[in-house]
Amino acid sequence: MTPPTEDSPAAMNGTTPLGDPTGEVLADPIAELRDVHKAFGPEPVLGGVNLAFQRGEITVILGPSGTGKSVLLKHIVGLIKPDHGEVYFDGERVDRMREAELVAIRKRIGYMFQLGALFDSMTVGQNVAFPLIEHTDQDPAQRRASVQHVLDLVGLGDMLEKMPTELSGGQQRRVALARAVVLHPALVLYDEPTTGLDPVRADVINELILALAKTMGVSSIVVTHDMASANKVADRMILLHEGRVICDGRPEQFRASDNAVVQRFIHGEADEADLAAIRRAFRNESANPTLFEQPEARA
């Protein structure tokens, strides 16, 4: 693999030797973050992230909870602005746009929120039609045809009149996915699309992510902590740790990394510092038991 250039996103993040999968700065990325910092109060979340996302690829962003994965997605669509740095979508600088200017950008970015985020008071058809009502001048017949088409794609073409509460968790995610692509976006952002689903239903979502990327030609960024999902869909894997990119490469390169944090994440192994703290606590408990004492019975 060609080493990353010194001004590439990978080099700036210190992720060599994996770095950017091509070893080069992308000439025409669909989205890009340049030295993005974000904190909420005193807590830093993103600490100088440099990433460029290739058109037509499925990029998976991995990392434990609280490492800034969802925050990163929200920067791309303009829901959050960085404290420092620059954010681009299709060559346009997003972080300087006013809310009215962001409307045109958001029409071209599909967003599948965590747990689906369907409107409980709307039918399936109404949920999927919502972006069409907000952003197009399609008449009711055209909207219904568009909704029917994307629901057919996710295998729920007969569910238009159902309410979200009548669907399984997996079906709700598929409806959310249909809503995310009904405007035929150039980029789809998936925020934990398989969280809470059993392996079979999660695999249905994985297959849909792959099929939609192939048939619609969309670029995709998938945030997850699910390695099974990542291994199935990723063209490229990125690991965020404590708000920074520590690994970036093709799946086979990612799995071959000798970074201890990467390997612990891949294999689902606890951090040694956490384990040491647990062992100390239980040793203390054994020496002076309090935690498992039975409460005194009331008279």
Question: Which residue matches tokens 């849909």?
Answer: 208
299 residues of the chain, pLDDT tens digit each: 333 333 333 433 434 333 445 455 567 899 999 999 999 988 899 999 999 999 999 999 998 887 889 999 999 999 999 999 999 999 999 999 999 899 999 999 999 987 668 888 999 999 999 999 988 888 999 999 999 999 999 999 999 999 999 999 889 999 999 999 999 999 999 999 998 889 999 999 999 999 988 888 899 999 998 899 999 999 999 999 988 999 999 999 999 998 988 998 888 877 676 677 777 777 776 767 665 666 665 55
Per residue, what are the HEC states of 81-94? CCCEEEEEECCEEC
Tokens of 74: 């929200």
| C-alpha span between 191 and 71 (Å, rounded) | 10
Enter the pTM of the model. Answer: 0.82
Query: Is residue 213 within a helix (H) or strand (E), and if so which, with residue range?
Result: helix 199-216
Tokens of 244: 């920074």
Domain 9-108+185-287 grouped into CATH 3.40.50.300? yes
According to DSSP, residue 195 is labeled: T
Per-domain residue ranges of the chain:
9-108+185-287
Which residues are CB-neighbours of 66 under 8 A, at least 6 positions away?
Answer: none
